[in-house]
Amino acid sequence: MNALGKKIRLLRHQKGWSQEDVAKRLDISIPAFSKIETGITDVNLSRLNQISKLFGLSLVQLLSTSDTDDDKDRMDEMNELGRKLQLREIEVIDLQKKVIDLYEQLHQK
């Protein structure tokens, strides 16, 4: 897979879209889109422009490969923050249970 294909796949995943979703939006077949994503097919300028507009990017942003590493780093950071948030939510729930228990103990006395 080439850098452009990886970037398109990452953008697709960020949107939560399947290959079928993107293929429909581009008005091409799923296999044709898959070949773009895997780098099997060279993409013409018109198709690149269509893809960049679909993802809300300029053509330069789409073709820039330096953003791919930054995007991956951001995704990794977001995933880590999501895990930390889940742990904090568990801690909050445990603390709420303790407060409820203490409150009930106070009212039983």
User: With b meaning 16 or more CB within 10 Å and e meaning fewer, what string describes 18-35?
Assistant: ebeebbeeeebeeeebbb
pLDDT score at 68 = 53
- pLDDT tens sequence for the chain (109 residues): 788 999 999 999 999 999 999 999 999 999 999 999 999 998 999 999 999 999 999 999 898 866 555 667 777 888 888 899 999 999 999 999 999 999 999 998 7
pLDDT score at 88 = 94
pLDDT score at 2 = 86
Closest Cα to residue 7, out of 73, 58, 72?
Answer: 72
